[in-house]
Amino acid sequence: MGLRIEEPATETCSSSFDALLFTTMCMIGLPVEVQVKDGSVYSGIFHTASVDGEYGVVLKMASMSRKGEGNVNLSVGTVVDTLVVLSADLVQVVAKGVLIPADGIVSNVNNDGAKMVTSSALPPSCHSELQIEPKTSKSGKAISESSTEEDTEQTCQNGRLNQNEENISVHDLEVKDFKNGFPAKGGKELGLREGAAKPMESMLEIENGKTDTVVMAKVEEGSSGPFFTDSSDERQDGKGKRQGGENACGTCKDDNMVHGAPCSSSPTAACIPQLNYIDGMAVKISKILPNGAPSASLASTISEAPEHEMPTSVHSQPSDAPTHVSTCSTSVVDFSLPSCLSPLASPTESVPSKKTVCNTNSKEFKLNPGAKTFSPSFPNLRSTPPSVTAVSSVGYGPSSSPMVPIVNAQPGIEISHFAPRTSVPAKFVQYSNLVAGNSGGGTLYAPRNSLPIAGNVGSREQPGRYSSQYQAGSAYVHPNSQTVMVGRLGQVVYVHPIPHDAIQGATTLSQGPARPILAPQQVHFPKQQGTAAQALQVRMTTPYLPAGQQSLGVPGHIPFPQPFPAIRPISVPTINSVFGEKISDESSWRCT
């Protein structure tokens, strides 16, 4: 949003004036030091200046940094809200660290302007201006219709061309209007004010959309502004006043009151007389300076510009842009600014669209939050044998078992996870008690300390988590799926084998650190082996990997004698309650 100063006329006076005006505006808002003729130095924030013949400045939050020879009723360090230094008293103004736009920020400004102008909503605003401006020219003002249309056409063309190359923004048109005594500007202003003066109902009609309320608020704010009120009153009072309103900027220029908004009528009228009124005194300090009000009002009007811009950006309907522009620009000096910003609507609209996408994704996984995480591995898991999905692979091979997603998604739930599993073989039904036992242990086998488990294995109870490694005399090997029934001490334990995939998957996760730890804790159960001559090695581990995921790797390729002499299905002691507590712990347990 750059305001490009038009190349001044050939006259040296106007060139120097423009240069002085430009440099003065570059100093606005910067800390300056002002030296007056008595030698006193005041520091403050450069607020505004009067270049009407003589150069006077106004500082905000000023304080005397050096006391001069004159008697000033102001102590060093005392901060005053507004300090007016008249031209007669001014010696010099020193501003440090002034960034001349032509030196450094030209490109940035141009880019900003380009961004705003290149938005897609500009052409509609241009059309709207085209519709409005002829009305204003017909109203009898000193508006050159051709020039107005030319300006608008330029604006539209710039909008179509995205104004990137020429760096021409709407402000260029503003400046041109400024040079021409603000004819087109006044026309625009008039038209815009007409739009702003419409009843709220009409505004609502125009602004059809959900954001009507917001727009109304903004409109009211704009109407509450002094500049807006004054201008609208002038416009409504008649042609003469309207003419005055149009010439407000011209008056401003005549007065040469420089501020962030050089074409504000009311602040100019308020400021300049004040400066003249206190002429003759060395330094005028006023905390209740009338200037403060107009300046503040001006500041408010200018500062309201972004607020007004917001609704324009909010509205997505291109047809809304002109109305907004008209409403907003009335209170702002540079009223094409909102029109220039109106294209912001389209980039703003894109944001909700992105949010919609995100919401859609979140809705997709709302029912099953874990599905999204594990869905990529599901096709591979489907390839595993159905028997594998039964019980034992749940806790051991989380990455390769279809049960894994459920376990990982809801680790706190135990047996219920297996209920929906339809892939459990029919034979598994008869070992329903084992299912329960294994479900509690297999799925959630996570004993923090595996030593008690090893003791149980050797002594009396079969905790049901014993995998195919436990070869007992009455062990039963599932013919198809290598499901193993392991029994010891006269009891039979059904142990579901773990497929190689599951084991590999498990070992892949913790093979490295687990192997050396498991080695010294191998336990042999030669007496518990049945007809099988091969010894089983149960490797139980101490609470290693306390923070890691618990895993129990059980190879399923151990030969078992067939048939079993007697199969006595036993009910594994319900250790669910025991392991239920241990489930929460995340230690690692491996049995191979």
Partner 1 sequence: MEGSSSNGDDFAVGCILSIKTSLGDEFQGQIVTFDRPSNILRAQEGPKSGSRRNVRLLKANYIKEFSLLGKAEDPLDPTKSFLDLPSIQAREEAAIRQAEIEAERFGVGVTSEAQRIFDALAKTLPVRWDKTVIVVMNEVRVSSPYHSENVNGGTPAANDRVKKVIEFERKRLHTRGTSQ
Interactions with partner 1, residue window 335-354 (CB under 8 A): 337
If binding is defined by CB under 8 A, does position 101 make contact with partner 1?
Answer: yes
Contacting partner 1 within 109-138 (CB under 8 A): 109-110, 112
* Choices 225-233, 299-307, 312-320, 503-511 (CB under 8 A): range interacting with partner 1: 299-307
If binding is defined by CB under 8 A, does position 11 make contact with partner 1?
Answer: no
If binding is defined by CB under 8 A, does position 10 make contact with partner 1?
Answer: no
Among 10, 11, 53, 379, binds partner 1 (CB under 8 A): 53
Contacting partner 1 within 496-515 (CB under 8 A): none
Contact call for residues 60 and 76 (beta carbons, < 8 A): no
Contacting partner 1 within 15-34 (CB under 8 A): 15-20, 22-31
Among 103, 240, 360, 577, binds partner 1 (CB under 8 A): 103
Structure tokens at 97: 């660290």
If binding is defined by CB under 8 A, does position 90 make contact with partner 1?
Answer: yes
Q: Which residue carries 């490797």 as its tokens?
A: 539
Compare residues 55 and 500 and give the one whose CB is closer to partner 1. 55
If binding is defined by CB under 8 A, does position 44 make contact with partner 1?
Answer: yes
Distances (CA, A) of 20 to 11, 254, 260: 14, 15, 14
Structure tokens at 392: 């034992």
**Measured on CA atoms in the order 235, 239, 244, 250, is the torsion positive or negative?**
positive
* Choices 85-93, 181-189, 559-567, 571-579 (CB under 8 A): range interacting with partner 1: 85-93
Among 35, 231, 339, 439, binds partner 1 (CB under 8 A): 35
Structure tokens at 461: 């109870």
If binding is defined by CB under 8 A, does position 306 make contact with partner 1?
Answer: yes
Q: Which residues contact 577 (CB under 8 A, 6 or more apart)?
A: none
Give the DSSP letter string of 542-568: -S-STTSPP-----S-----SS-S---
- Tell me how far apart the alpha carbons of residues 129 and 325 are, in angstroms, rounded to a whole number: 9
List the x/- string, 254-273, binding to partner 1 by CB under 8 A: ------xx------------
- Cβ count near 132 (within 10 Å): 22
Q: Which residues contact 318 (CB under 8 A, 6 or more apart)?
A: 121, 123, 124, 125, 345
If binding is defined by CB under 8 A, does position 585 make contact with partner 1?
Answer: no
Compare residues 13 and 351 and give the one whose CB is closer to partner 1. 13
Long-range contacts of 7-10 (CB under 8 A, 24+ apart): none
Nearest to 457, CA basis, from 557, 548, 544, 527: 527
List the x/- string, 525-554, binding to partner 1 by CB under 8 A: ------------------------------
- Which residues is 495 bridged to in the sheet? 484
If binding is defined by CB under 8 A, does position 299 make contact with partner 1?
Answer: yes
If binding is defined by CB under 8 A, does position 224 make contact with partner 1?
Answer: no
Contact call for residues 392 and 482 (beta carbons, < 8 A): no
Q: How far is the CB of 213 from partner 1 (least distance, A)?
A: 25
- Tell me how far apart the alpha carbons of residues 27 and 256 are, in angstroms, rounded to a whole number: 16
Number of chain positions touching partner 1 (CB under 8 A): 73
